[in-house]
């Protein structure tokens, strides 16, 4: 696939005309020709039911090869694909149905067999005319930890152009064999699955990720690319020493030097591609490239091709200008206008642009803890304690406090049963951070709470401490 952004073929056209490659899932192998045929069959079924042009269609996905066929089917039929996880709570599905005004859900039966996803009609009411969807291919709903999920409307042409940029950055080729334990309702899972297939390569996916599954795949296949969030990587690191030349594609959370060192201990010949981006910007705005023989830092890396970055002079919020940006939020014109300001997208992240052009993340605006008038970014506290030799993982959040307004609470996952005390942890950190940033309370657990994307979930931690549900 060699094409420039301005002339990129639509990604779905590439996928529907490729003659090599395919997917390994929990049911076995499905070659690209079969993926294409399933897509054509499902597309015809949608059109027979009366699917209108640019009409959103909900797609139940869950780590199976037919999920790709379903997305292609909707686009082939002239609709807009809206993936959601097949195991989602009914309230989540109902919210999506309401937000999209969808008349159809495309899904496989609840069995563990190969079959064509079938459209189910869930409404007789025609959706409203939405000019925003005229050039749309996919609507991805953000997993936001607070508030109403936002439907990010993405253009097929922009997706295709951005995929070309990513392809060049992460060095994919026709013999790519990718390990992708990510779900297709999220942007990371989408591009990490699309790209190898577009190149004619092989993709390994699963309905249920585990370290055993990942290590077994790596023992049996010549994996060239491994796409995962840092939480997944930490689990897989316990496997055997491996000298293969593999690219680790990771995002969703910052990769600190501690995790990088652990990765290189397991895979000394690997390259880590730390990737930062928003669904709203088309994903993958900043790239960081680490090897075991190069010094590591904690920056997010350099802007990708055609990406411009700056910070708000007052709030230090990172702003991104991207030719691959969303068309807007579905039926949220006010929020779209607030987020897309004069061609710049507000990320909600506090950042610093370094002299060499790299970008360093300092925290999230909405995550800031206001402790007695002092603003504390949880990520700053986490980065300090992550270096403690007895700590495996750490998560920080703010909790209402009668004295300070908010108190700093920290969840620690120790490396052994003999965990250091709160006093010992605080004493260790006193010389490493400002006093007002020291945790007020330390909790201990076996794992961090995770959100639907596999990221550590601050809201879930906060709710657990308060004894409420998320």
100 & 248 share domain: yes
Task: Report residue 146's pLDDT band, with 50, 70 and 90 as the boundaries.
Answer: very low
Q: Residue 42 belongs to a domain with what CATH number?
A: 3.40.50.12780
Question: Is the model's pLDDT at 147 over the cut of 60?
Answer: no
349 & 371 share domain: no
Mean pLDDT of the chain: 91
How many domains is the chain built from? 2
Question: Is the model's pLDDT at 468 over the cut of 70?
Answer: no
Q: What is the mean pLDDT of residues 317-321?
A: 97
Considering 322, 353, 384, which residue would you say is the last residue of a domain?
353
249 & 372 share domain: no
188 & 258 share domain: yes
Per the domain annotation, does 77 fall within a domain?
yes
For the ranges 46-50, 111-115, 250-254, 311-315, which has the lowest average pLDDT?
250-254
Considering 353, 382, 416, which residue would you say is the last residue of a domain?
353
Give the pLDDT of residue 5.
37
Tokens of 319: 């702003």
403 & 322 share domain: no
Per the domain annotation, does 361 fall within a domain?
no
Task: Report residue 1's pLDDT band, with 50, 70 and 90 as the boundaries.
Answer: very low
Place of tokens 């075991």: 292
Per the domain annotation, does 360 fall within a domain?
no
User: How many other C-beta atoms are found inside a 10 Å radius of the C-beta of residue 218?
Assistant: 21
Q: What are the residues whose beta carbons fall under 8 Å from the beta carbon of 64, sequence distance 6 or more?
A: 25, 26, 27, 108, 205, 207
5 vs 62, residue with greater confidence: 62
Considering 331, 353, 375, which residue would you say is the last residue of a domain?
353
Question: Is the model's pLDDT at 144 over the cut of 60?
Answer: no
Q: Residue 417 belongs to a domain with what CATH number?
A: 3.30.300.30
Residue 36: C-alpha distances to residues 12, 26, 284, 403 (Å): 10, 19, 27, 61
pLDDT tens-digit readout, 338-396: 999 999 999 999 999 999 999 998 887 878 898 887 888 898 899 899 999 999 999 99
Give the pLDDT of residue 450.
86
pLDDT > 90: what percent of the chain?
Answer: 75
37 vs 453, residue with greater confidence: 37
Question: Is the model's pLDDT at 145 over the cut of 70?
Answer: no
Helices (H), 319-470: 333-339, 378-385, 422-429, 458-466
Tokens of 252: 């969703």
pLDDT tens-digit readout, 103-131: 999 999 877 799 999 999 999 999 999 99
Domain span including residue 439 = 367-466
Q: Distance (Å, rounded) from C-alpha 33 to C-alpha 44?
A: 17
Give the pLDDT of residue 143.
55
Per the domain annotation, does 155 fall within a domain?
yes
Per the domain annotation, does 274 fall within a domain?
yes
Residue 271's beta-bridge partner residues?
Answer: 247, 291
342 & 385 share domain: no
pLDDT tens-digit readout, 269-313: 999 999 999 999 999 999 999 998 877 777 899 999 999 999 999
Give the pLDDT of residue 127.
92
Specify whether the CB–CB gap between 314 and 269 falls below 8 A: no
| Longest Cα–Cα distance in the chain | 69
How would you list the strands of the sheet with 391-401, edge to edge?
391-401, 405-414, 441-444
374 & 332 share domain: no
341 & 406 share domain: no
Q: Distance (Å, rounded) from C-alpha 246 to C-alpha 389?
A: 27
Per the domain annotation, does 358 fall within a domain?
no
Give the pLDDT of residue 405.
86
Q: What is the mean pLDDT of residues 146-173?
A: 89
Burial class (CB in 10 A: 0-12, 13-18, 19+), 204: buried
Question: Is the model's pLDDT at 79 over the cut of 90?
Answer: yes
pLDDT tens-digit readout, 257-266: 888 999 999 9
Per the domain annotation, does 342 fall within a domain?
yes
Task: Report residue 251's pLDDT band, with 50, 70 and 90 as the boundaries.
Answer: confident
Specify whether the CB–CB gap between 265 and 259 falls below 8 A: no
Give the pLDDT of residue 417.
87
Give the pLDDT of residue 16.
97
Specify whether the CB–CB gap between 347 and 338 falls below 8 A: no
pLDDT > 70: what percent of the chain?
Answer: 96
Per the domain annotation, does 239 fall within a domain?
yes
144 & 118 share domain: yes
298 & 406 share domain: no
Question: Is the model's pLDDT at 155 over the cut of 80?
Answer: yes
For the ranges 148-152, 153-157, 420-424, which has the lowest average pLDDT?
148-152
81 & 193 share domain: yes
315 & 397 share domain: no
């Amino acid at each position: 696939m060699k094409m420039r952004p301005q002339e990129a073929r639509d990604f779905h056209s590439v996928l529907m005309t490729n003659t090599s490659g395919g997917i390994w899932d929990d049911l076995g192998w499905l070659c690209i020709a079969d993926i294409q045929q399933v897509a054509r069959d499902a597309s015809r079924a949608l059109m027979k039911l009366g699917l209108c042009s640019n009409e959103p269609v909900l797609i139940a996905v869950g780590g199976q090869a037919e999920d790709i066929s379903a997305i292609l089917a909707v686009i082939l039929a002239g609709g807009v694909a809206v993936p959601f996880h097949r195991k989602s709570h009914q309230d989540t599905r109902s919210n999506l149905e309401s937000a999209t005004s969808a008349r159809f859900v495309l899904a496989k039966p609840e069995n563990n067999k190969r079959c064509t996803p079938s459209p189910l009609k869930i409404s007789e009411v025609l959706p409203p005319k939405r000019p925003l969807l005229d050039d749309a291919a996919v609507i991805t709903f953000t997993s936001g930890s607070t508030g109403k999920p936002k439907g990010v409307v993405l253009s097929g042409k922009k997706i295709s152009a951005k995929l070309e940029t990513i392809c060049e950055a992460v060095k994919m080729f026709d013999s790519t064999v990718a390990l992708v334990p990510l779900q297709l309702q999220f942007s990371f899972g989408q591009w990490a699955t699309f790209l190898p297939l577009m190149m004619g390569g092989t993709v390994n996916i699963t309905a249920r990720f585990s370290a055993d599954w990942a290590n077994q795949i790596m023992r049996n296949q010549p994996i060239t690319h491994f796409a995962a969030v840092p939480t997944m990587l930490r689990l897989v690191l316990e496997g055997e020493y491996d000298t293969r030349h593999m690219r680790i594609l990771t995002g969703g959370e910052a990769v600190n030097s501690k995790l990088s060192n652990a990765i290189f201990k397991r895979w000394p010949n690997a390259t880590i591609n730390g990737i930062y981006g928003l669904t709203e910007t088309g994903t993958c705005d900043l790239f960081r490239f680490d090897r075991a023989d190069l010094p590591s830092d904690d920056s997010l890396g350099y802007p990708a091709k055609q990406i411009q970055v700056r910070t708000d002079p007052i709030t230090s919020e990172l702003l991104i200008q991207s030719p691959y940006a969303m068309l807007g939020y579905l039926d949220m014109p006010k929020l779209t206008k607030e987020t897309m300001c004069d061609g710049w997208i507000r990320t909600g992240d506090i950042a610093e642009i370094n002299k060499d052009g790299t970008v360093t993340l300092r925290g999230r605006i909405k995550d800031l803890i206001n402790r007695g008038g002092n603003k504390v970014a949880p990520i700053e506290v986490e980065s300090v304690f992550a270096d403690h030799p007895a700590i495996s993982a750490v998560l920080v959040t703010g909790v209402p406090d009668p004295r300070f307004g908010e108190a700093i609470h920290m969840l620690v996952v120790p490396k052994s049963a003999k965990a250091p005390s709160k006093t010992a942890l605080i004493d260790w950190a006193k010389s490493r951070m400002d006093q007002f940033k020291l945790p007020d309370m330390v909790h201990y657990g076996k794992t961090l709470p995770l959100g639907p994307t596999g990221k550590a979930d601050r809201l879930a931690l906060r709710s657990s401490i308060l004894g409420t549900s998320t």
